[in-house]
Amino acid sequence: MKVSVFTLGCKTNLYESGQIIARLQSAGHVAVHGLEPADVFVLNTCAVTGEAERKSRQAVQRARKLNPDCKVVIVGCAAQKNAQQFAELPNVTFVKGVANKTAIVNEIERVGTDVEQLPSVFCSDGFAAQERTRAFVKIQDGCNNFCSYCIVPYLRGRSRSRKIADVVREVANAHSAETVLIGIDISQFGRDTGESLPQLFDALQGANTRLRLGSLEAGVVTDQLLASLARVDFCPHFHLSLQSGCDSVLKRMNRKYTTEQYYEAVTKIRNVFSDAAITTDVIVGFCGETEEEFQTTCDFVRKVGFADVHVFPYSPREGTVAYGWQDVDGATKTRRAEALGEIKAQLKRAFAQSFAGKTCKVLAERKRAGAWEGYTPQYLRVYFNGPAAVGEVVKVKINEPYKDGAKGEVI
């Protein structure tokens, strides 16, 4: 039987789809990533926003166009939030939530709905099939933060961590030039098991891969963690979640830090990794955000000097604490997103310019229109010419900013 596994949403979802594919292949099925003609489609859904949930429903129609007689199996966060929205769609035969996703290998012939209770401990469901130039290894699931705008803790459950020994085994098994350690909130790694992120990186010393971290909270940036990172082949790219550069907005968001504490974390990072890329997410137009609060955020973004900023207009999410609070009008959100986007573009170009004349180790990912594309350890996208192969790390001299990154030549 051929099974197409289609992923919406975050890298954790992508990893879990890789686990599903590995299990399906072990059971003798032909299993592939992405939408292509198949007997069965497994749709791994997302519900972080209403738009993500809508796209999850639309994926059913996309599958039916590829095979009108197919069976469609739904798993993931959108199903966890509301299984019924899928149960009555044409061709949908089975709906499952977040828990025990990989069991779908034994359930693709089932009919009905089975949204299980979320687990309280990390479930090791086997290694994921790795089909990209960099490997993703999940080290944690769930979240304890309960930010006022966020639905994720209600869908993923409380934080639970994978054992270090199991992580080390999968990193070694991935056989990739670069490995990204991911989760829903990896800053909470080990708090439920008596282990820690510094201990994890100490255990990964000698790993035959360069290591990269997923999104972090500023509070986890300690001298001990940075010292552990400095002892391994670590990619100095820190995606530190900010959401707002204004303390009054952070308080309404139930974010558990101040801008002063955030900036202290940035300073610590740059004291150890002088060329580190620090990137972030910022929500504009959160409930009641005034023009003064927005300008405070803009000033803070400039002060930090981010390498990149992902800008999102606030979208109310039913089921969250902030749902129903005073909203900011759409036109104001759009204007603020555009204004912050201009600051982002300036900062991004300045970061790329800071590498002009330097030599970086670039992971080659693809060749298009005669030129290679890849990423430095700082996650600067580089367009370059010269001999390389997909998945190979090559030395590239950076010339100048170009498009959304920089361009250079293999040396």
Per-residue pLDDT of 20-42, as tens digits, reads: 999 999 999 999 999 999 999 99
Going by C-beta distance under 8 Å and a sequence separation of 6 or more, which residues neighbour residue 222? 198, 268
Q: How far is CA 277 from CA 212, 309, 350, 352, 381, in A?
A: 12, 11, 12, 10, 12
Give the strand pairing for 371-375 and 359-368: antiparallel
Beta bridge partners of 180: 136, 212
Report pLDDT for 336. 98
Q: What are phi and psi of 322, to 5 degrees?
A: -80, -5
pLDDT the model gives residue 124: 83
**Separation in Å, CA 357 to CA 354, 373, 401:** 9, 18, 11
> What average pLDDT does the segment 343-367 reach?
98
Assigned token pair, 411:
């040396």
Say which amino acid occupies 17: S
Cβ atoms of residues 45 and 75 within 8 Å: yes
pLDDT of the residue at 99: 94
pLDDT digits (tens, 9 = 90+) for 289-321: 999 999 999 999 999 999 999 999 999 999 999
pLDDT for position 260: 98
State residue 115 phi and psi, 5-degree precision.
Answer: -95, 100
Fold of 135-353: pyruvate-formate lyase- activating enzyme (3.80.30)
**In what side-by-side order are the strands of the sheet with 30-33?**
30-33, 2-7, 40-45, 71-76, 92-96, 112-114
Q: Cα separations (Å) of 390 from 207, 367, 403?
A: 21, 8, 21
Question: Scanning the structure block, which residue is given the tokens 């030549």?
Answer: 409
What pLDDT sits at residue 342? 98
Predicted model pTM: 0.95
- pLDDT at residue 154 in the model: 96
- Per-residue pLDDT averaged across 106-130, rounded? 91
Say what the pLDDT of residue 144 is: 97
CATH (residue range 359-410): 2.40.50.140
Is CATH 3.40.50.12160 correct for 2-114? yes
For residue 271, pLDDT beyond 80: yes
Output the pLDDT for position 131: 74
What average pLDDT does the segment 253-258 reach? Answer: 98
Q: What is the mean pLDDT of the chain?
A: 97
pLDDT at 130: 87
Answer yes or no: is pLDDT of 282 > 80: yes
Identify the residue whose tokens are 């900010």: 242
pLDDT tens per residue across span 203-224: 999 999 999 999 999 999 999 9
Question: Domain boundaries in the chain?
Answer: 2-114, 135-353, 359-410
Query: How many whole angstroms separate alpha carbon 205 and alpha carbon 198?
Result: 11
**Largest separation between any pair of C-alpha atoms in the chain:** 60
Determine the 3-state secondary structure of 283 from DSSP: strand
In contact, 148 and 252? CB cutoff 8 Å: yes
- pLDDT category of residue 132 using cuts at 50, 70 and 90: confident
* Whole-number pLDDT of residue 190: 98
